[in-house]
Amino acid sequence: MGINSRGDLMSQYFINIYDAVKTMISGMSLTLEHLRKKKDLVATLQYPNEKWPQPDRNIGFEHEDYNVIRSRLHVDIDDCIGCLQCERACPVDCIKIDTIKPSKGVEFDCGETSNDTRKKMIVPRFTIDMSECMYCNLCVYPCPEECIYMVGGPNEPKHDIDYEYSKYVKHDLVFEFSNVTDQQIVDIGAQSYLDERNSKIEKINKGTTLRGNELIESPVPAAAAPAAAPAAAAAPVQASDTLDIKCLDIIEDKTLKTPAKKVFFKSKRAGEDDIVKIDKVIAEISKIDGYTPELEQKLKELL
């Protein structure tokens, strides 16, 4: 290879380095410029702190004559008589309503609507899941008291337009309109409804905190217990999975504790219940020096 060829290669090598550095600096300078002037140069809207203004809609109809907005359902709950017509008309089943009639012999005033209609029941639950709503407006027409409607348009005097109701959690799009208190439910003679509702809430909370599979032992009445039950007729221990690895701290001898924990952990990963875990632990450490009948009794008492 000649001297000129070698020189051309070296020259091209440094030119490539120069181009690479120049390109990198150009790209970084553009990025820094956008960071410095992000309010002016970045196209992304900083939602929800920033929102585009709602443009005027020129659709060829007057808003007071034709409701084209259909932004959100609203319920004037004081005018609801609990007829369930809107719930039946909903094609996606996003409306849920509970009603309670006064019990026989209970004097309770359910109130009147703005149209002077005497209410015959109370509505302890009126929820609309707007995440499921298809904005068909079909629930509005059958309402005899006109208490459910889409806000905006011809209903502007009733409720301001509400096109912006985004939430961070989907469940927050479930709107509750009922204003019935627990005391009113008790006064109308529907304590059973209140107990059932609280039971459902408790189950939901247990599922949320992953406590849905807790073992609930019902107390046995004293009269149901036999007067003198022999030891052989004792009820078997109910299978459960409540013991953890710390229960083996009752084993003081390390030569027994280490293999016991290994067997316990392996059994727990296999999804076996507490009875099987303890049986396997006893079977494993009973072959090791230092194992005593007293220790076996302590392990069985864990159940």
Site of tokens 């008589």: 81
**66 inside domain:** no
The yes-or-no verdict on residue 1 having pLDDT over 90 is no
Residues 28 and 104 in one domain: no
The yes-or-no verdict on residue 136 having pLDDT over 80 is yes
Residues 31 and 79 in one domain: no
Residues 87 and 32 in one domain: no
Give the whole-angstrom CA distance, residue 292 versus residue 251: 11
**80 inside domain:** yes
Residues 18 and 100 in one domain: no
**161 inside domain:** yes
Residues 195 and 130 in one domain: yes
**250 inside domain:** yes
Give the whole-angstrom CA distance, residue 96 versus residue 250: 54
- If pLDDT is split at 50, 70 and 90, which confidence band does 57 have? low
- How many CB atoms are closer than 10 A to CB 149? 22
Residues 198 and 275 in one domain: no
Residues 196 and 275 in one domain: no
pLDDT tens for each residue of 190-215? 899 999 999 988 888 887 777 655 55
Of all residues in the chain, what percent carry a pLDDT higher than 70? Answer: 81
Backbone angles phi and psi of 126, in degrees to 5: -145, 90
* Arithmetic mean of pLDDT, 260-281: 82
Question: What secondary structure, in 3-state letters, does 119-185 show?
Answer: CCCEEEEEEEECCCCCCCCCCCCCCCCCCEEECCHHHCCCCCCCCCCCCCCHHHHEEECCCCCHHHH
**231 inside domain:** no
Count of domains forming the chain: 3
Which domain CATH number covers 106? 3.30.70
- If pLDDT is split at 50, 70 and 90, which confidence band does 154 have? confident
**53 inside domain:** no
Give the whole-angstrom CA distance, residue 58 versus residue 15: 60
- How many CB atoms are closer than 10 A to CB 245? 12
Structural domain of residue 34, as residue ranges? 3-41
pTM of the full predicted structure? Answer: 0.51
Residues 249 and 198 in one domain: no
Of 11-25, 56-70, 148-162, which range is least confident? 56-70
- How many CB atoms are closer than 10 A to CB 124? 22
* Arithmetic mean of pLDDT, 236-245: 66
Residues 191 and 77 in one domain: yes
The yes-or-no verdict on residue 91 having pLDDT over 60 is yes
Give the whole-angstrom CA distance, residue 95 versus residue 132: 9
**264 inside domain:** yes
**47 inside domain:** no
